[in-house]
Amino acid sequence: QVQLVESGGGLVQPGGSLRLSCAASGRIFIIYNMGWYRQAPGKQRELVATISSGGTTNYADSVKDRFTISRDNAKNTVYLQMNNLKPEDAAAYYCNANGRTTLSSNPFNLWGQGTQVTVSN
């Protein structure tokens, strides 16, 4: 069974930085795409950034030039470096990963438990 464990959320002042991490563990043959999504109270979950196994990245327009997604394939870990944080970035951030546990298994698509990011004075 594959699990995703997130860390790195917290309280930061506007203009500050945080780094989120998400590690996948368990029986993993391959992870294709990994990504970060966020959900603020009363709003739908939205894409923040994704990264493929080959390193191709995709960002929401609202975070371009401020956030950087990266991954360590050897550790099955994805990171989100968030700089110049704004109050509107406050949300629960969720890690997502899809892949396979064996060469012939059905693909999995998993979510982490979420980590809270608060941006406030």
Please give the backbone phi and psi of residue 39, each rounded to the nearest 5 degrees, phi first. Answer: -140, 120
pLDDT for the residue numbered 86: 98
What tens digit of pLDDT does each residue of 32-86 get? 999 999 999 999 999 999 999 999 999 999 999 999 999 999 999 999 999 999 9
What tens digit of pLDDT does each residue of 8-39 get? 999 999 999 999 999 999 999 999 999 999 99
Indicate if the pLDDT at residue 117 is higher than 90: yes
